[in-house]
């Protein structure tokens, strides 16, 4: 990697005169006082020779920058990986105790199944040599065998955690009523080709300057994935929730939604803080380079999250008369999702505006979705689907280089619509196919008694006796004998309102 004859830098070459206390160099090296030190001096010299010989090469600006890029990209990947824990906590806290194990298992398997699928096929489809629609090589990370460039490992590690994020968004919207095996099949399919193919359209050139995807070629702006990651998962969540129908007991006979409270709001709050923390890897890490641009991206990310939380809280306060916690938490996430597309090309003031609008939008969207027939226990569709679209539009509207440009905004709209058509259509067909074959939804009795027991043979809180019929793990009443499970008629207002 390093060229030229190794030569110790000036500081290293003058080090010999500073190895001993002042005046020691004037003593006779053969004197008895120096004899015990001779072996140590020889050992030190042997240790320093290779170090000093390579010091100049190791400290070149190019070498330092390369290693810094690797380090920053991997640290950012680890932060995004930690977001899986945040998603698991939010979804578990916003739903009932009797399905806690199920939600934890789904979030765990999202990453495990997704990692294998993305390693085998997904990464190649997304970042392999493109035929105009998707990549055709780099399957099983085979690209390393060609040029032995370790950047493929670093880049894959950063990209696989994004694929897992897109997959796990669906978990909350389909909570408490989905067969575990069906969810595993979905996780594999979205990581294998649904997410990667769209990703190649928007980000295909990011790895070694491959040919641009068709959206990227139009000038589509989505720096870290408001659409590519979050709307992708949000529209998949919409398809899944529609196919499943609402949870038992969610609606009265007249069709009026009833509250199904989450069992652990402190856990959900901790999950939001973890997601906020992880987003500092998600957005600034998308530079995949250790440079000064990360500062603005981090500031914009934080400001949008804060504005989203404040304005969601105010909106809920006006609407319900109380500063409702579920809406406030999802306002934070909505701000984060919205700024993800434009975090690198918006000024801080417009980042605040983007987050503030996202905070209002998420409250309104949850209320509307609650009335149109989609049961989304955690608000995933509103947070990720709708606010991913809003953030992508904002990245074009408020683009610092050229604001309110019709062409730029038009391209953003094309990207938003393309993502919806691709993700919703394919996921809807996938869920319908599973519904007709292996089954998508658990039996009514299993849903009533809890997925933890029937799907996993466990109980998340055994000391509290969370079995069927208890207040913390059940529906208001058992499904009447012979009654058909409800169809899609509405959504929970995060189980809180």
* Cα 361 to chain centroid, rounded: 21
99 and 190, same domain (yes or no): yes
The domain boundary, picked from 404, 436, 468, lies at 436
Confidence of residue 100 (pLDDT cuts 50, 70, 90): very high
More confident residue, 53 or 375: 375
The residue from 436, 453, 470 where one domain ends is: 436
Six-digit token string for 140: 């099983």
The more confident residue out of 413 and 1 is 413
Is it the case that residue 383 has pLDDT exceeding 50? yes
pLDDT digits (tens, 9 = 90+) for 293-330: 999 999 999 999 999 999 999 999 999 999 999 999 99
What is the count of structural domains for the chain?
A: 2
The answer as to whether 34 is a domain residue is no
Residues 51 and 75 in one domain: no
Domain membership of residue 464 (yes or no) is: no
Share of the chain above pLDDT 90, in %: 77
Predicted confidence (pLDDT) at residue 20 exceeds the cutoff of 60: no
Let me know: does 103 contact 88? Beta carbons within 8 Å: yes
Verify that 339 and 371 share a domain, yes or no. Answer: yes
Q: How confident is the model at residue 36, as a pLDDT?
A: 54
For residues 80 and 8, membership in a common domain is answered with: no
Q: pLDDT band at residue 463, thresholds of 50, 70 and 90?
A: confident
CB neighbour list of residue 22: distance below 8 Å, 6 or more residues apart: none
- pLDDT bin (cut points 50, 70, 90) of residue 50 is low
Q: What is the CATH number of the domain that holds 185?
A: 1.10.3430.10
| 89/206 same-domain check | yes
Residue that is last in its domain, among 436, 455, 486? 436
293-320 vs 265-282: helix axis angle to the nearest 10?
150
472 within a domain of the structure (yes/no): no
Which pTM was predicted?
A: 0.84
Taking the CA atoms of 207, 210, 214 and 218 in sequence, report the sign of the dihedral they define: positive
| Span of 147-156, 167-176, 451-460, 470-479 with lowest mean pLDDT | 470-479
Would you place residue 208 in the very low, low, confident or very high pLDDT band (cuts 50, 70, 90)?
Answer: confident
Co-location of 149 and 278 in the same domain? yes
44 versus 198: which is more confidently predicted? 198
Identify the pLDDT of residue 160: 98
Q: Is the pLDDT of residue 25 over 90?
A: no
Q: What stretches of 130-264 show up as alpha helix (H) in DSSP?
A: 143-147, 151-173, 180-189, 195-203, 214-218, 232-244
Same domain assignment for residues 201 and 284: yes
Q: Is 313 inside any structural domain?
A: yes
The whole-angstrom separation of Cα 23 and Cα 13 is 19
Mean local confidence (pLDDT), 343-371:
97
Q: Is the pLDDT of residue 488 over 50?
A: no
So what's the pLDDT on residue 55? 52
The verdict on 317 and 169 lying in the same domain is: yes
pLDDT bin (cut points 50, 70, 90) of residue 465 is low
More reliable by pLDDT, 344 or 9: 344
For the chain, the C-alpha Rg in angstroms (whole number) is 27
138 and 246 fall within a common domain:
yes
Flag the least confident range among 57-66, 107-116, 136-145, 151-160: 57-66
The reply to whether 33 falls in a domain is no
Mean pLDDT within 11-25: 37
Q: Let me know the angle formed at the C-alpha of 459 by 375 and 497, rounded to the nearest 5 degrees.
A: 30
Arithmetic mean of pLDDT, 182-200: 97
Domain with 51, as residue range(s), is 1-15+41-59
Answer yes or no: is 198 within a domain. Answer: yes
Lowest-confidence range among 376-385, 421-430, 470-479? 470-479
Residues 235-293 have pLDDT tens digits of 999 999 999 999 999 988 888 888 899 999 999 999 999 999 999 999 999 999 999 99
Is the same domain home to 50 and 100? Answer: no
Query: What mean pLDDT do residues 54-79 have?
Result: 87
pLDDT at res. 24: 37
Q: Please state, in angstroms and as integers, the Cα–Cα distance from residue 48 to each residue in 13, 20, 90, 148, following that order.
A: 11, 15, 53, 30
Residue 487 is predicted with a pLDDT of: 35
Residue 176 lies in a domain: yes
Mean pLDDT lowest among 33-37, 134-138, 338-342, 384-388: 33-37
Question: For residue 170, how far is the Cα from the chain centroid?
Answer: 12
pLDDT-based confidence at residue 419 (cuts at 50, 70, 90): very high
- Same domain for 280 and 392, yes or no, is yes
Encoded tokens for 311 = 């304005």
Residue at 483 is within a domain? no
Query: Any idea what the Cα angle at residue 366 is, between residues 360 and 367, rounded to 5°?
Result: 95
Place of tokens 């105010």: 314
Same domain, 198 and 269: yes
């Amino acid at each position: 990697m390093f060229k030229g004859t190794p030569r110790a830098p000036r500081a290293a070459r003058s080090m010999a005169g500073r190895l001993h206390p002042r005046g020691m160099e004037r003593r006779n090296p053969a004197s008895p006082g120096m004899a015990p030190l001779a072996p140590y001096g020889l050992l030190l010299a042997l240790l320093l020779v290779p170090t000093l010989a390579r010091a100049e090469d190791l400290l070149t600006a190019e070498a330092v920058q390369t290693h810094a890029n690797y380090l920053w990209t991997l640290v950012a990947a680890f932060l995004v990986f930690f977001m899986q824990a945040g998603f698991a906590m939010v979804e578990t806290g916003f739903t009932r105790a009797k399905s806690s194990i199920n939600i934890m298992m789904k979030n765990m398997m999202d990453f495990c199944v997704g990692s294998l699928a993305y390693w085998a096929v997904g990464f190649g489809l997304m970042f392999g040599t493109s035929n105009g629609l998707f990549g055709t090589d780099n399957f099983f990370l085979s690209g390393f065998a060609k040029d032995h460039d370790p950047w493929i490992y670093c880049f894959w590690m950063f990209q696989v955690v994004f694929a897992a994020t897109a997959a796990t968004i669906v978990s909350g919207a389909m909570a408490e009523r989905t067969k575990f095996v069906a969810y595993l099949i979905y996780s594999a399919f979205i990581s294998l080709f649904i997410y990667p193919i769209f990703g190649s359209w928007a980000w295909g050139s990011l790895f070694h300057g491959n040919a641009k995807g068709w959206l990227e070629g139009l000038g589509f702006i989505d720096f870290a994935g408001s659409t590519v990651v979050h709307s992708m998962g949000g529209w998949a969540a919409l398809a899944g929730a529609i196919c499943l129908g609402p949870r038992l007991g969610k609606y009265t006979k007249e069709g009026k939604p009833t509250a199904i409270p989450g069992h652990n709001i402190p856990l959900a709050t901790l999950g939001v803080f973890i997601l906020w923390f992880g987003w500092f890897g998600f957005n600034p890490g998308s530079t995949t380079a250790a440079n000064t641009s990360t500062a603005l991206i981090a500031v914009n990310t934080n400001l949008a999250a804060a504005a989203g939380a404040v304005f969601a809280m105010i909106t809920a306060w006006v609407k319900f008369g109380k500063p409702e916690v579920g809406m406030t938490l999802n306002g934070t996430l909505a701000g984060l999702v919205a700024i993800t597309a434009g975090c690198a090309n918006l000024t801080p003031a417009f980042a605040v505006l983007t987050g503030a609008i996202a905070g209002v939008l998420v409250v309104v969207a949850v209320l509307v979705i609650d009335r149109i027939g989609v049961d989304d226990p955690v608000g995933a569709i509103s947070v990720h689907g709708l606010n991913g679209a809003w953030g992508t539009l904002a990245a074009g509207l408020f683009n610092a280089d050229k604001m309110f440009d019709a062409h730029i905004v038009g391209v953003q709209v094309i990207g938003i619509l393309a993502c919806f058509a691709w993700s919703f259509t394919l996921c809807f067909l996938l869920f319908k196919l599973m519904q007709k074959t292996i089954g998508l939804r658990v039996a009514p009795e299993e849903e009533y008694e809890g997925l933890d027991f029937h799907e996993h043979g466990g109980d998340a809180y055994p000391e509290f006796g969370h079995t069927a019929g208890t207040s913390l793990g059940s529906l208001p009443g058992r499904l009447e004998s012979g009654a058909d499970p409800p169809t899609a008629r509405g959504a929970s207002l995060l189980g809180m309102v």
